[in-house]
Structure formats: structure tokens, C-alpha cells
Structure 1
Amino acid sequence: MDGETSSRPKDTPAPDYAIPQAPFYSIEYPGYVAEGSVPRAIEHLGGQRSLDAAFKRNASKKETLLELNFRPGNPFSHPIPGDVTSTDNILMKVTKRKRKRNSAIEGQPLGEYTVELMGVIPKTARFRSMADFQFQPDPNDPLVKLRYALDHLDAKAIREFQISPEKEDYYVEENPQEPDQDGDIQMGEPSKRSNLRLFPPPIFGRQTIAQVYNFKANPGSIETSIVDEETGEERKRLINRSRWKGFAPVSIGFWDPTPDTPPKNALDAASSVNPDLLSRLKEHFNTRPVWSRPALLNQFAPNEQRALLNAKQTLPLVSYIFQDGPWRDTNVRLGYDPRTDKEARFYQRVYFRNVNHEKQRTSFIARRSTLHDRMVDSNAERTDDALPSNRSHIFDGRTRTSQTASFQLCDIQDPMLIKMIHSEEGLRDTCNEQDGWYTSHALENLKTVLRHKFFNLLEGNVVSDEECEALLQTAEGSTRPRPANRTLNPRKHNMAKGALPPEEATAARLRSVIGKRLGTVEENRDSMDE
């Protein structure tokens, strides 16, 4: 055993080679470079000045950006962006020894290559981005000539430029020449090409790095055989078994007939619905045929709310939705038509936009465990304790519940507004597409008071009924056109909102604040006089 070990040659360490510290910079040029084409390659990179700026020490990120332009001097050429990165490479010089054909020099090694270390490469310019699409417009176009003149500061060409009249020749016919079997040129059928004189944008594609696209067949797809009804031939087809199937209530317009049955896909999935949840949902719709989404969700516990939203096929089994009109975006019991029942006026929806409020989405647990007024600025003046979020659909004129005004008339509990809602003076005989069962005058007065109370409540001010009555008298004497004189908006989803213009809403809030402060000053003055 010892003899075998001693007979083995001892391992000798590899020799050490000193690396010269002379720095070199390399460029990974995406093209062929020969000894005579180096100046051309440098020109494509922007010249020696651009290279010096990119590789200089302590260069900024902007200075290290290189652009490779294969058509230098052409303003319509899109370059390839490159980056200068730090590397730890070594530059080696490889020399191939040349021999004469009939000479055999004794004592020379058999190797034909010699390697010599030249230095280190601390920086390397790389072009890893994809080249952008290229488009060259007609060089004879006057605008193209003007673009070249601007680049070369050709004052004469710029001064002589004139805008030519538009000929509207957007298509140009051309006769392609095609060689026949004998090689003779034959005139082909005339064709048309575009002559729109389009100029390329600064960049076509924003995707600079190629995406990793590993094609893989959809595991949820199966191959089935179908028979063509016209030809009777059998062919193969892929069907996705796991495709998404959406469940949503039937959506109708104001003039569409009333649906009385759920959609077919919801009926097919009815067996997967929680029967207790469906039973409770039917009870609520039997008690009240029209519900807004927040009002309906507030009737359930947080876990039931999650179950109701996760089971998308539950609501379509009992309700449908109006996409416009006075009951826009409300869930209506299947078979019930609020357009024929005058008592349905209490379910009409009133909506105001709050442009200063950024929409926030909170979880159901957070909505139940916290108060909605925590989303309001903590420095704002508070009136009463905010209602819990399960009453966020109710407006009583004194408690701030949400940042957006979206209420059904039956959910308004303010005494002054209740009188206006139940008043039978401003009712119609037939339902209107925009105002429902109310006249335009009555509904506009109701919206004016509700809007004034709501936006003042957001600022911490409780508006009195006397102030609202004065506001109605001011509105009666204004010259602003009434809604009855307005034309319907062709975009139906904007109907029945009735929002004031931003400048009028701001002016109304400003008048309210000034009035409050003037009242406070007068009270202090009276107390001082006493």
C-alpha cells in the first residue's frame, strides 16, 4: 500500500501568473466587426466622444447610456439602447504560430497557440435590449426633407419650405411587374398601397426585454370531435373545461321588459348555493323589493357578506339590475316592475359625486370593527358619534356615515327630507325615465336640500331647516335652467345623478361656512353687550 502511494507522482501546484493592471474597456457589439470596419462601428456607437463619456470614471447613469444606431444621421432610425456595467473580465491575447509548409523546426512545442495576459476589463458595454421596429418614410416627401434640413441647420431649405395643398390621395395605384415562365416581364393586376404620409413615432415598442415564453398547452383543454353542419365533415376542436363562467343579475334598460326568471347559467348552478343564505335573501326581497348594494349587504353579518359575494350565482336567482333611470344600479326583485307601481318612488336612488374623496376599499371585518369616520381627517370638527357601518346606507342629517352620497329615498330619515319625500304634490301620473314618479321640480328641490345637508355634514356642520328653506327660495329665484328644460344625456349610465357643477357646490359650502361664522360673531357681540 505504501509502495503504491510512493510511486504516484506528487501533485504540483499550478503556476502563478501576474495580471497586468492596465485597464481595458470592452464593447459587446451585436454585429460583424473586421479590422477595417472598426471606425464604422465606432460611428454607429455615437463616436469616440460618446464612448469616452460612457467609460469615464464616476460617470453618471445618464452618461453611461450608449445608443447603437445602424443608420447614423437618419432621424427616423430608432437606436438600440445599451448599458455600461461593471465586470471582472481579463483580456487575453491569443497568437497563432505560423509555419512554413515544408519546414520542420526541431525542439519546438506542438502547440500552435500562445496566450498572453494583457490586463483587466472593469467595464463592459452591453446591448441586451431588443431592437425597435424601423420605418423609413418617403425621402421625397417635403416634410421628410424639412426634417433633414432641421438636423443639418440648412437655413435655405427651411426658408424655402412651403406647405403643399392636400391632394387627399390616401391610396396610390401601382402595377407590379412579374416575370413569366419565359422570363418576360408581365404587368400584373393593379393594386393599391397606402399613401397616408405617416411618420414614425419616437418609439414603437415599449418592451425592451424579451419575455420568457415557454409554450405549454392549457391543461384544462380537451380535444373533442365535432361535425360541421354544412359539409358533414368531422374535425377536431379544443374545448376549455375550466374557463371562467360569470354570474351576474340580468341587467336591463329603462324601456326593457321586466325579467321574471333568473339567467340560465345561474339556474344551472343553483344546486351549489347555500339554501339558508338564499332563503334569507328571498325574505329581504319580499319585505322590500328594491335594494341598493350597500343597504342589502348591511342586512347580513360579515361572514354572510363574504359568502354572498363569493357565491356570485346567489343574487341572480332573486333579482335583476337597472342600468339607467331612477333605480340605476339597484337590485330589484324578479317579476317586480317599479315603473308601474307608484309606491316604488320611495326606492328611487339619489347619488352625488364627491370629487374630493378618494375611493377606499376596506374589508368586511374592518367595516364592522371600526367606525367609518376614521377615514375622515382627524382634525375635522365632529358633530355626533358616527353610526356603525351597518347603517352606512342611512342618512339622518346629523350623523356622518360615509364620504359618498348614494341613498335610496326610503333610507333617508331626516325630518325635513321625509316630508318632501312623502309629499304627494309633486308626483307624476306616469313614471319618467329621468325623474321617476316625481316631477322635475320636486325632485330637484329634494336633491338641493340633501346635497346641502350632506356636504356640510362632511365639514362637521349640521344645517338647520331654516337655512335649507332659504336655499330653496334662492334656487327658485335663480336663472339656472331647471332639469325639466334640459335634454337627456345620451349616455344612459349618467342619468338620474343630479350632481351640481363643482363650482356651484363649492359656492354653496362657502356660503354655509360664512353664515355659520357670522352667526358666531353676532352671538359673541350680544354677550359682550350684556
Structure 2
Amino acid sequence: MNPPGPIAGPSALQADPLDDAAPERDLPSAHFYSVEYPGYVKPTSVSLAVERLGGQLRVENAFKRASSKTESLLELSLRPGNPFAHPVPGDVVSTSNILLKVVKRKRKRGAATDGTVGEYTVEALGMIPKTARFRSMVDYQYKPDMEDPIAKLRSAMDTMDVDGILRYRVPEEREDYTVSEDPAAMDIDPKLTGTDESAGPKMKSNLRLFTPPLFSRQVIPQNYNYKSNSASVVTTVVDEETGEEKKRLINRMRWKGYGPISISFSDTGVPDKPSTPVEEQRANADRKILKRLQELFQERAIWTRAAIFNQFMPFEVREIINSKVLLPLVSYVFQDGPWRDTQIRLGYDPRQDKQARIYQRLYFRNTNHPIVRPSVVSKRQEGRTELAQNRTEASSQDDKRTHIFDGVTVTKETAAFQLCDITDPMLKEMIEDEEDVRDECNERDGWYSTEAFERIKTVLRHKFFSLLGGHVATREECEALLVPQEGTNKLPPRPTQRLRFGKHNMAKGALPPEDAAVRPGGRNAHVCCLTLTAILQAHRLMATLQQKTKDGRFHEHT
């Protein structure tokens, strides 16, 4: 029989007093804000440190809960008063720190030492919900000659010094772009700099360069450990002019674009095969869709993307968009000219074929058409498949005719049509008229004369925008627009459309009238106050200049 095992019970070991639970303390509800100042601050230099941060008001605005992105920006100026010095950018981040007050009791001199280091008392004063940090790399600094007239003018404009602004004169160009360097300016041993003392005085640049607003946008250092890119390989290239062989680094992981070949209207030839990166992806392309695209481009040499997509099923359109190589395998594009934003069959040059005039594209910008500007995240997530999803939702037969204009129905709010896709009887007669065809293709009007092309655009514009307004334009209305003004060959001006608020015809960043009202104590009120202050300063400056003109002090500038 086995002996009984150990019986559970209280431990015979004495508990360590250090293992006792720490006493609980109440955490005060007071909030403090912290600034990690990148420098040594003494109690007597706190005011100077706050001044370098932009002042007490600037620091308070940076820590406000409802402060804007601009107001929450905190900058440290190490050279205040110098407009050419670049400040150190700071970030206000959320923290959950506790502010502790630590007091050390000092021992009196002459007291007997018993090995005691000292007595400390710790007290929690409150929480630190926000902290300003300066952990970004400082921008490059360059100090120009502050005695230069441009530097003096810049300083005078900062302080609104009218006399200093009036004293400015354009300096005479002396062409002294290099001057001798002052040897006493920096006394360095020539052996350390590697210069030859017998070479004469050392020269320095005198180009009177002034600093840009920012030298570098890089704020985070790269941990490259003094090693080259592992994806780079050394390759040998031959200079076409000299025949000399050179070695250079090539990044094997570089991004390869799969877009169609793009040429300018002024280029002499046209591509007859796709680019090398696109050709390498031919084996991965959908053979059925690729064959169908080749057949379409044999039937018709030039297509718009909307016209091509209308020839396929929604899932096929999605494949064309996602693959990115199907269209570049069979077509190229023009950057400018009458066939801009169209897909053209490889090897076909519309500038050499008069029949290509029916493939010219017309586009009218609809100022009343709303534009939705999604965020960057939504662009990345939905941008690639947005058009394909729209095709999936629209399965009716009418949606397959969005690229056709018949003068009676409107299928979209933007006018972008090829002439061959216009079936309106009046416009079709004007398009097929061969009397005003050029002998040589023009970059602006293509194969049509300027007068004939303007007439087509005038009628198409009137018919399209009339349909958007719920009215079908008659032939009499269009013919009235084609009657030249009396005594000239110009067509009458088209009626201007009334702009509506809330659309993208407003200035970028502008608010609708109902949102632009000044709210008491709101941010708009603050902006209006700033604008009013700037206007008052401008009025004071103009009044001072006018007074000095009357006094005869400004006669040299009149």
C-alpha cells in the first residue's frame, strides 16, 4: 500500500512583506497637458520655451478638444524673428499618463549617516490626456544674407513696416556670382578640408539664394543600415551616343504599368503592337474576351470605353477592368487631338484616313452635374470595380445605349459622344456632309473645317442640354442658332445656363449659402474675424501709403 501523499494546508513559510497589496489611492480628476520640449528647460526659462512654441495662446489652441488640424499644429522656432528659419514640427497625440509629484526630504548637514538614501513622497496630481511631441526630423536650415535688400523687404513685410517697404529698391545686377571667402569666417586647418593653400583664395557662391518654404518632406528616418536595396541588381548599359559601357542599379521589383500606349497628335507614327510589359501578360488574359475585342476593333477602328463596355455582359466588363491588359493588347490612345480619350486599333492612324472623321469625339462639360468626391480609402476599395458594379445593377436594354445620342432621349448627364454614335437626323446630315472636309487633318477640328465643326457642336450642345431641361429641341430652334450674326460670320452666342448652388461649379472648398452663415462663437465666426482683420490691415497700409504720397515721400514710385 502506497504511503499517503502530501495533504494540502496552510503554508509554513512566512509571507514576504513586499508581496502585500499596494494601498489604493484616489486618482484626481484634474487634467494636465504635457510638452516634450527638445531642449533643456530651467525654471527661469519656462517663459522663453513657451515663446519659442508660439506663445501661450498657440499652445492652448493646440490642446483644445475641438481644434482644427491647422490650429492643433505646434511648431518650435529655434530662431524666432528669422522668417527664413524652418521650425521643428510637433504632433499632439493622445496619452493616458499620470502626473506625479515627487518630493525628496533633504537631510541636514552634519547629521549622522546611517546608510539611508533619502525619503521620498509621491503624490498623483491628475491625468495627462494629450502630449505634444517633437520626434520628426528637422528640415534643412539655410540662413541667407540678412543685409540683402530682399531679406530686408521680407522682414519689413512681416512686421508691416511701411517705411521699410518703401525703401526697397531693385538692386543693380553686378554679375558677381562668386566672391572670395573670408578666411577669418571659419578658421579650419586646410589639412582637414583637403584644400591646397597655394591654390589662392577660396571662392564661395554669391547667387543670393533664398530658402523655399520646405526643403524636404521626409519626417521619418529610414533604417537602411547603410545597405543597398536588396531588390536592386547591377546591370551593364551601353551609351547610344558614345558606345561606352556603364554599370547602373536596376530595381527588379519596380512597378510595371499595364496601360495602353499613349502618343501625342504631333507624333509621326502610331504603335502597331502593345508594350513589352503588356505583351508578357497575354498568356494570362481571358482568351474569349480578347478574341471578342479583336473582332470589335476589326469592325470599327475607334471606340470609346463606354461604347466598348456596352458590347459586353456585366461580368465581362468587370474582367476587362480588373485585368488591365485586355484593352492595351488591342488598342492605343491619343493624349490630345480630336480622338482624345478613345481606344484606337493598333496600327491604325486616323490622321491619314478621312473616313476617320466619324470617329471624332465631342465632349461638353455639364456644370450642373454633381460630382461625388469619395475619400481615399473608398477610392482604393471601390475605384477599380465601380464601373463594373454599375453595369451589373443596370441590366436593361436602354443602358446599353448610353453611348448613342438620338436627340429625343437622354441616358446620362454628361455629353461625350463619337460622331458615328449620333443618330439624330439633323446632326447626321451635318456629319455626313463632305463639302467642308479638310485635305489635311487638324489637331483641333480633325478632318472637318472649323466652321462645320462649330455648327455640329452648337446643335449637339443645344439638343443635349434641352433634353436635360425636359424639352426636345426642334429643328427650327437649331437652325436659328446656325444663322450668323449680322455683319459677321460668327454664330450667335449660346445662352448661358443658370448655375445652381450645391453643385461643383462652386469654388473648390466653398460652402453653400445656407452653410456659410456665421454662427456665433463657431469656427466660421473665427474665420470671418481673421478675414476682417486682414482687410483692416490692408486698409491701414493703403491709407499710410496714400498719406505718404500726399506728403511727397512717395514721389519716386509714381
2:475 is aligned to 465
The letter for the 2-side match of 1:38 is P
Residue 403 of structure 1 aligns with which residue?
413
What are the equivalent positions in structure 2 for 1:19-38 lying under 5 Å apart?
Answer: 28-33=36-41, 37-38=42-43
1:296-311 correspondence runs (5 A): 296-311=308-323
> Are residues 1:9 and 2:14 paired?
yes
What does 1:167-206 align with in structure 2 at a 5 Å threshold? 167-169=172-174, 171-175=177-181, 177=183, 179-180=189-190, 188-196=200-208, 198=210, 201=213
Q: What do the CA deviations read for 1:369-409 (whole angstroms, capped 9, x no partner)?
A: 349xxxxxxxxxxxxxx973211110000111122222111
Describe the shift of the 1:223–1:358 C-alpha distance in structure 2 as closer, same or farther (beyond 3 A): same
What is the rounded CA distance, in whole Å, between the counterparts of 1:172 and 1:338 in structure 2? 56
SS at match of 2:350: coil
* Unmatched 5+ stretches in structure 1: 372-385, 483-499, 511-530
Structure 1 residue 40: deviation in Å? 2.7
Tell me the SS of whatever aligns to 1:450: helix
- Which amino acid in structure 2 is aligned with residue 138 of structure 1? D
Determine if the alignment matches structure 1 residue 115 to structure 2 residue 104: no
The reply to whether residue 334 of structure 1 matches residue 358 of structure 2 is no
- Overall identity of the aligned pairs, in %: 37
SS at match of 1:443: helix
Contact (CA 8 Å) 1:90, 1:117: kept in 2 or not?
yes
1:140 to 139, 147, 152: 147
Number of aligned positions between the proteins: 461
Please give the alpha-carbon distance, in whole angstroms, between the structure 2 residues aligned to 1:110 and 1:70: 45
CA distance in 2, matches of 1:151, 1:239: 47
Q: Does 1:389 align with 2:407?
A: no
Report the CA distance shift for 1:26/1:140 in structure 2 as closer, same or farther (over 3 A). Answer: same
Equivalence map 1:75-90=2 (5 Å): 87-90=97-100
- The one-letter code sitting in structure 1 at the alignment partner of 2:407 is G
1:275 is aligned, of 282, 287, 291, to: 287
Unaligned runs of 5+ in 2: 1-5, 373-382, 500-558
- Within-5 A mapping of 1:16-415: 16=23, 28-33=36-41, 37-46=42-51, 68-71=76-79, 87-95=97-105, 97=107, 105=112, 109-117=114-122, 120-122=125-127, 126-129=131-134, 130=136, 134-141=141-148, 158=163, 162-169=167-174, 171-175=177-181, 177=183, 179-180=189-190, 188-196=200-208, 198=210, 201=213, 210-211=219-220, 213=222, 215=224, 222=231, 224=233, 226=235, 239-241=251-253, 243-249=255-261, 251-253=263-265, 256-359=268-371, 362-370=386-394, 388-415=398-425
Q: How far apart are residue 186 of structure 1 and its match?
A: 6.6
How far, CA to CA, are the matches of 1:287 and 1:43 in structure 2?
78
Normalising by structure 1, report the TM-score.
0.69
Match of 1:490 in 2: none
2 CA distance for matches of 1:116 and 1:88?
Answer: 16
Which residue identity does 2:366 align to in structure 1?
A: N
2:427 counterpart SS class: helix
**Aligned-partner Cα distance in 1 for 2:452–2:157:** 65
Distance 1:453 1:140, change over 3 A: same
Any conservation in 2 of the 1:64–1:83 contact (CA below 8 Å)?
Answer: yes
Q: Is 2:449 aligned against 1:453?
A: no
Equivalent residue for 1:507?
496
* Native 8 Å contact 2:439 2:447 kept in 1: yes
Moved more, 158-167 or 403-412: 158-167
- CA distances 1:66-103 after superposition (whole Å, capped 9, x unpaired): 76554456566555558698853220112464776xx8
Instruction: State the Cα distance separating 1:468 from its structure 2 match.
Output: 0.8
Note if contact 2:281-2:325 (Cα within 8 Å) is conserved in structure 1: yes
Match of 2:433 in 1: 423
Counterpart AA for 1:32: Y
- Relative distance call for 1:368 and 1:450 in structure 2 (3 A) is farther
Within 1, Cα distance between the matches of 2:53 and 2:231? 60
Does the residue aligned with 2:460 lie in a helix, a strand or coil?
helix
* 1:220/1:240 contact within 8 Å kept: no
CA contact 1:394–1:411 (8 Å) conserved in 2:
yes
Aligned alpha-carbon RMSD (Å) = 5.0
Residues of 2 paired with 1:153 and 1:279: CA distance? 71
- Quick check: which has more Rg, 1 or 2? 1
> 1:328, CA displacement in angstroms?
2.8
2:306 partner letter: P
Q: TM-score, normalised by structure 2?
A: 0.66
Instruction: Please say if 1:440 is aligned against 2:447.
Output: no
